[in-house]
Structure 1
Amino acid sequence: MDLGLKGRKAIVCASSKGLGKACATALAEAGCDIVVNGRHVETLEATAQELMRAGVSVTAVLADVSTPEGQKALLAACPEPDILVNNNGGPPFRDFRELDRQAILDGVTQNMVTPIELIKAVLDGMAARRFGRIVNITSTSVYKPISGLDLSSGARAGLTSFLAGVARTVAKDNVTINNILPGIFDTDRIRSGIRFGAERAGIEPEKETERRMSAIPAGRFGAPEEFGQACAFLCSAQAGYITGQNLIIDGGAYNSAF
């Protein structure tokens, strides 16, 4: 399927690995020129080289997207993006009682303030050019809270509510804002979590993997490529009538009729 994205310009935040990389890969395969971003130079450069195989222009920006300097670097590399994919690491697993004021503010900055700042920077230009696609990678924890990830859940839920109204103000300009809520995907981060969980439980990682998969109706973890292709579709020319939505991709783990 031709997504109508050849020659479009995309900024994909925190995209040197994991789900961000999957989104960047799918957009590159659809013909987008990509600004890829990460904080570790070797990983970032390796990803940039991979993306270039799609025959598109790839610019690697080594930066922390949560900082004003990092955001300026991204926007300097692509002043007029057609697509913005917001992604960022979340606060670490921690009992909420251990959070002090600064930790809370940092978490809100990472997962709410940062994407809003980037959207503010690009939204009017997208509207003026009559094309824009913004996708925010959040989490199913927005709907299904996970104890210990309360700060991440709260910040991402705040972002979701904040943008619900904003999305409706630019729909007439062919600019869409949507969120993708991932469940468990087979990424380095999840594998690390499995090892940690197995150690705490005193079991083998394979047993912990089986335990987690058994709670998913699909009976498996998601493949990052599946996530990336869903993101690419939301960015496509054909998705202009989809806005202000939360797309859960979790193999059916979130049990709800609505």
Structure 2
Amino acid sequence: MDLGLSGRTALVCSSTQGIGEAIASALAAEGAHTVVSGRRGGRAKDIAARLPRAVGVEADLLSPQGPEELFQATVDAFGPPDVLVLNGPGPRPGQATDVTVADADSALEATVRPHIRLVSLALPAMRARGWGRVLAVGSSGIAAPLANLALSNLGRAALAGYLKTLAAEVAADGVTVNLLLPGRIATERTAAVDTANAGRTHRTVAEVERESVAAIPAGRYGHVSEFAATAAFLCSAPASYVTGVALRCDGGLVRSL
């Protein structure tokens, strides 16, 4: 299938490792001019150097001008993005009974505000050209809140509500807005959560992993390449009638439809 991404410009946030890196690689492989970004500028440039049409940009989305600087670097390199992939690390693990107002503010600062700013910067050109893709890497906690990830559940659900509302407002302009929700994908973030759960429950990491795998009908953690392939389709031309969707790529982990 031709995904219709050749010559398009794709900005992938937090793409110096894990899911973000895999998505950037998948989009570049489809012919998109790809911006690899993250706080580790050297790492971003190294990844971009291995891709056919890419640049690496050092960017801290939590800094006051971080979203604006990243957007401008994209424009300077390839022009306004046709594809915007929102991604970033989640807040620290923890239980809801331990959440403070300051914690909630911090979670929203990290998971919502910079992404809304990037969307506001990218949308005008997308709407003007009649083509655009906004894809957010979310969490299966949006569909079924995850234990010991209260702050992530809070922040990611807030972003999902905004994006679902936005999808209806820009659909007639040829812009799709979707979320892609990972389950247990084998990444450094997943390993960190498993380690935190092991410490909280006084078990080994191996025991936590076995318990997690037992709950997944597919019987394993997912690969980043599988997640990235799904992301690339949602960013594609053939996916033009898919919008306002929160699609799970989780091996059947969440049992609801």
TM-score category (smaller protein): over 0.9
2:250 counterpart residue number: 250
Runs of 5+ unmatched residues, structure 1? none
- Tell me by how many angstroms 1:239 deviates: 0.6
2:131 counterpart residue number: 131
Alignment of 1:53-64 (within 5 A): 55-56=52-53, 58-64=54-60
- Tell me by how many angstroms 1:98 deviates: 3.4
Q: Distance in 2 between matches of 1:137 and 1:35?
A: 16
Alignment of 1:42-121 (within 5 A): 42-50=42-50, 52=51, 55-56=52-53, 58-79=54-75, 80-121=80-121
Between the two proteins, what is the percent identity of the paired residues?
A: 37
- Tell me by how many angstroms 1:198 deviates: 3.9
- Tell me by how many angstroms 1:171 deviates: 1.1
Corresponding pairs, count: 253
C-alpha contact (below 8 Å) 1:16/1:36 kept by paired residues = yes
Superposed CA RMSD in Å reads 1.7
Alignment of 1:11-30 (within 5 A): 11-30=11-30
Runs of 5+ unmatched residues, structure 2? none
- Tell me by how many angstroms 1:201 deviates: 4.8
Q: Distance in 1 between matches of 2:69 and 2:178?
A: 24
In structure 2, relative to structure 1, the CA distance for the partners of 1:98 and 1:141 (3 Å cut) is same
SS in 1 for 2:112: helix
Q: 1:80-100: CA deviations, max 9, x gaps? A: 110000011111012334333
The amino acid that maps onto 2:106 is D
The amino acid that maps onto 1:128 is A
In structure 2, relative to structure 1, the CA distance for the partners of 1:61 and 1:18 (3 Å cut) is same
SS in 2 for 1:244: coil
- Tell me by how many angstroms 1:196 deviates: 4.0
C-alpha contact (below 8 Å) 1:59/1:77 kept by paired residues = no
C-alpha contact (below 8 Å) 2:176/2:243 kept by paired residues = yes
